[in-house]
């Protein structure tokens, strides 16, 4: 009798656990479904810098620049990495497949807008397929 009660309790408990997991859940995100491809477009742009230059033929599209600004003293400091990513995003918007970083600089002199500032400039390029 004791094992029968134990089996019933086990089956009832498992049923409750399994039905609790079968709820109607919704997935919410702050990503704009219409612009989802723009969020990841920057990943399609290869960064070339220093002695790492592109191989093969490419077209020069435009000069692009990215900037990172620390607006207040208690904000995260500006960074070359953020400035490079912003330049890469601008290259992606032009349809570039790569960016040749030409110059990055940290400016630690506060001005009327930024406590510190990082700027990167480069050439947006597009690979050319040779037949």
Q: State the pTM of this model.
A: 0.69
pLDDT tens for residues 8-24? 777 777 676 666 655 66
DSSP-derived secondary structure for 22-71: T-------SS-GGGHHHHHHGGGSEEEETTB---S-EEEEEEEEEEEEE-
* Residue that the structure tokens 């490419």 belong to: 58
Question: To the nearest whole percent, how much of the chain has pLDDT over 90?
Answer: 57
How big is the chain, counted in residues? 131
Output the pLDDT for position 33. Answer: 64
Domains in the chain, please, with CATH? 35-127 (3.30.110.70)
pLDDT tens for residues 31-40? 666 666 666 6
């Amino acid at each position: 009798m004791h094992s029968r009660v134990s089996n019933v309790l086990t089956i009832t408990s498992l049923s409750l656990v399994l039905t609790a997991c079968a709820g109607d859940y919704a997935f919410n995100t702050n990503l704009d479904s219409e612009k989802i491809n723009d969020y990841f477009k920057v990943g399609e742009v290869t960064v070339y810098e220093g002695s790492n230059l592109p191989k093969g033929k490419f077209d020069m599209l435009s000069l692009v620049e990215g900037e990172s600004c620390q607006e207040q003293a208690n904000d995260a400091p500006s960074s070359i990495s953020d400035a490079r990513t912003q330049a890469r995003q601008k290259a992606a918007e032009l349809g570039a497949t790569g960016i040749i970083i030409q110059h990055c600089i940290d400016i630690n002199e506060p001005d009327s807008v930024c406590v510190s500032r990082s700027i990167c400039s480069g050439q947006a390029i597009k690979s050319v397929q040779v037949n």
